[in-house]
Amino acid sequence: MKTIVITGCTSGFGLETSRRLLAQGHQLIGIARGGKARWMELLGPEASATGRALAYDADLAEAKTVEDAARKILAENPTVDVLINNAGIGLMGTAEDQDPEELRRQFEINFFSAVRLTQIFLPALRKSRGRIISVSSICGIATFPFYGAYCSSKYALESYMEALRHDLAGSGVQVGLIEPGTFRTEFAGRNFWLGKRSRDPSSPHFARTQAFEGFVTRKRLSAPDPDWVVRTMVNWVNQPKIPVRLLIGWDAKFLGFLKKLLPTQLLFDLTQKGFRAMTRS
């Protein structure tokens, strides 16, 4: 049995991964808004009846609540084997339209909360020779129009975690990045939204941004079931070694292949053309 701390466990990849890990006999510690009461209800009676699911309340956009939750977890559960930095939000819109405060929130949740949790749990992970699994995205290795805020937060996460893997070489702690393409979760609904300036009709990008929003909604409705990502997260908890990074989903694998194959300028031009066609209003 491993003790696993997980963020973003109240929906999508994180909720289903938690259910499957509990069914395998692991102990799960969720960091979630709404704490235990909300998580137990979401997990359902079977998972909560195991008695191996604990939850600590924190808003990942609020540094203090994250640090308080992490320290409380360690005080009450000194052994931690796995940290899964899974929570994330997606702020959409053109780079010109990004409001700095909204961008800061994007980075707090997708990047700084993962850094904070990583640093607080590392001493325990060193002792257990554990691992850190961070959920990035295809957007952590490829940049798209309208995705500047989200991509930059995932690029930051990628660089930090890759550097950490180098820094921790020989320590027994493994660090890996999961990079999904598009999958059908709650992400498109609650946690993926257009920033306020993007919704302002006076923005020079307003018409294309509206078309982009329609395109994203259609794309997400037809996106595949998240099972592939969930299976990978569960495997990464159990398998002896984890890779530096892994693209998951045919769209992500195809883009990763193009990135390796094509000159940067050509890939840029093709991306530009594709998005122009998709967002023609």
Please tell me whether residue 109 binds ligand NAP under the rule CB under 6 A.
Answer: yes
Tokens representing residue 270 in the block: 């093709």
Supply the minimum distance, in Å, between the C-beta of residue 231 and ligand NAP.
Answer: 14
Supply the minimum distance, in Å, between the C-beta of residue 76 and ligand NAP.
Answer: 20
Supply the minimum distance, in Å, between the C-beta of residue 127 and ligand NAP.
Answer: 27
Tokens representing residue 98 in the block: 């990004």
Please tell me whether residue 180 binds ligand NAP under the rule CB under 6 A.
Answer: yes
Residue 191 or 271: the one with the smaller Cβ distance to ligand NAP is 191
Please tell me whether residue 87 binds ligand NAP under the rule CB under 6 A.
Answer: yes
The residues in 233-272 that bind ligand NAP, with binding defined as CB under 6 A, are none
Sign of CA dihedral 259, 260, 265, 270: negative
Round the CA-based radius of gyration of the chain to a whole number and report it.
19
Interface residue with ligand NAP, options 3, 118, 137, 198 (CB under 6 A): 137
Residue 207 or 257: the one with the smaller Cβ distance to ligand NAP is 257
Please tell me whether residue 8 binds ligand NAP under the rule CB under 6 A.
Answer: yes
Residue 94 or 182: the one with the smaller Cβ distance to ligand NAP is 182
Please tell me whether residue 74 binds ligand NAP under the rule CB under 6 A.
Answer: no
Span of 53-61, 121-129, 260-268, 271-279 interacting with ligand NAP by CB under 6 A: 53-61
Is 150 in the active site? yes
Supply the minimum distance, in Å, between the C-beta of residue 130 and ligand NAP.
Answer: 20
Please tell me whether residue 111 binds ligand NAP under the rule CB under 6 A.
Answer: no
- Residue 180 CA, distance from chain mean position: 9
Interface residue with ligand NAP, options 20, 33, 36, 259 (CB under 6 A): 33
Strands 131-135 and 174-180: parallel
Span of 141-149, 164-172, 179-187, 263-271 interacting with ligand NAP by CB under 6 A: 179-187
Task: Give the whole-angstrom CA distance, residue 71 versus residue 124.
Answer: 11
Interface residue with ligand NAP, options 39, 146, 147, 183 (CB under 6 A): 183
Q: What are phi and psi of 174, to 5 degrees?
A: -100, 150
Please tell me whether residue 191 binds ligand NAP under the rule CB under 6 A.
Answer: yes
Based on the number of CB atoms within 10 Å of its own CB, is 168 exposed (0-12), middle (13-18) or buried (19 or more)? middle
Interface residue with ligand NAP, options 3, 5, 12, 92 (CB under 6 A): 12
Residue 206 or 224: the one with the smaller Cβ distance to ligand NAP is 224
Tokens representing residue 129 in the block: 């020779």
Please tell me whether residue 30 binds ligand NAP under the rule CB under 6 A.
Answer: no
**Contact yes or no for 35/57 (Cβ under 8 A):** yes
Site of interaction with ligand NAP (CB under 6 A)? 8-14, 33, 59-61, 86-89, 109, 135, 137, 180, 182-183, 185-187, 190-191
Name the residues annotated as catalytic.
150
